[in-house]
Amino acid sequence: MGDVLCHREQAIPTAEVVEAEMELLELLPYKPVLSRGYSCVMHMHTYADDCTIKEILVSHEKDSSGTVIEKIKPQYCRSFAKTKVRIVFKKPVPMEKYETLP
């Protein structure tokens, strides 16, 4: 894992649930769809740990004609979709809010 150095009075915030925008590449042949409860490994800089997809909020997928279809709260997503999901970690992960970044 690793350690995070910070000032005692300005502790780094942590999160157990994160909302993220993802672009799916090719999913594994034995797991061809991403759905609620999908287990995977999250890589953020030097951090890598197991996580679970809690909820799929939005999905943008192309149909056979190439038209992009937006689905709100879909049951699943396939390879090459752009999605917005909620991800759950097994333990709190130190990270800053997107709004507070310079």
Confirm whether pTM is higher than 0.85. Answer: no
Domain limits, the chain = 14-93
Q: Is the dihedral of CA 61, 97, 54, 46 positive or negative?
A: positive
Query: Tell me, what's the pLDDT at 96?
Result: 77
Is the predicted pLDDT of residue 98 greater than 80, yes or no? no
- What's the pLDDT at 45? 79
Q: Residue 31 gets which letter from DSSP?
A: S
Question: Can you name the CATH fold of 14-93?
Answer: Elongation Factor Tu (Ef-tu); domain 3 (2.40.30)
Taking only the tens place, the pLDDT of each residue in 58-93 is: 999 988 888 899 999 999 999 999 999 999 999 888
Q: What does the block give as tokens for 27? A: 């999913």
Cβ(33)–Cβ(56) below 8 Å: no
- Using the Cα atoms of residue 78, residue 82, residue 88 and residue 94 in order, give the sign of their dihedral: positive
